Copies of this chain bind each other. A is one copy, B any other.
Amino acid sequence: MSDILHRIGVEHSSPEQVYDALTTLDGLSGWWTEKTSGQTDLGGVIEFRFGPGGFDMKVTELDPGRLVRWDVVDGPPEWVGTSVQWDLRQDGDYTIVLFRHEGWRDPAEFMYHCSTKWGTFLMSLKQLLETGEGAPAPRDVKISDWH
């Protein structure tokens, strides 16, 4: 099994502010996709929608200012059964975000794509918190023919 890993540092932002951007519909729709709906509390299911489809994430762990974890319960077959974890901590002027999308069964080309795409969405999260303006779908950064 392979994981997608990323690390960013969000300047002049507290772990609580980053946590809010990961656990509220308003925050999530500001950096990942404008079409975000559902329940963001523990045990809830959040529906993220994009042009060609989307993902349903069940919120399985929440530790305010420290940890968010989602299980993918619906979406592309490659994603169902995988998990996304966010670890947050303060480090000087930065909130450090460690991101892990784990449980991929096969490192197929779609996983390569999702890895790069997650990177650009993490930069969108950083940008949202630092400048007030992220780049969520459909205004997301295009990386290839697959969007």
How many A residues touch the partner, as a band?
20 to 34
CB-defined interface of A33-64 with B at 8 Å, one 1/0 digit per residue? Answer: 00000000000000000000000000000000
Q: Which one of B3, B8, B119, B146 contacts A107 once the chains associate, using CB atoms below 8 Å?
A: B3
Contact A6–B112 (Cβ < 8 Å):
yes
- Which residues of chain B have C-beta atoms less than 8 A from A2's C-beta? 2-3, 5
Copies in the complex: 2
Complex alpha-carbon distance, A4 and B100, angstroms: 12
A window 91-108: CB within 8 A of B: 91-94, 96, 98-100, 107
Say whether A69 faces chain B, with CB atoms less than 8 Å apart: no
Is A143's CB under 8 angstroms from B9's CB? yes
Say which residue of B3, B123, B145, B146 sits within 8 Å of A143 (CB atoms).
Answer: B123
- Ordered by A's residue number, 28 sampled pairs between the chains whose C-beta atoms are within 8 Å are A2-B2, A2-B3, A3-B107, A4-B5, A4-B115, A5-B115, A6-B112, A6-B115, A6-B116, A6-B119, A7-B115, A7-B116, A7-B143, A7-B146, A8-B116, A8-B143, A9-B145, A91-B145, A94-B145, A96-B144, A98-B109, A98-B112, A115-B115, A116-B119, A116-B122, A116-B123, A120-B123, A123-B141
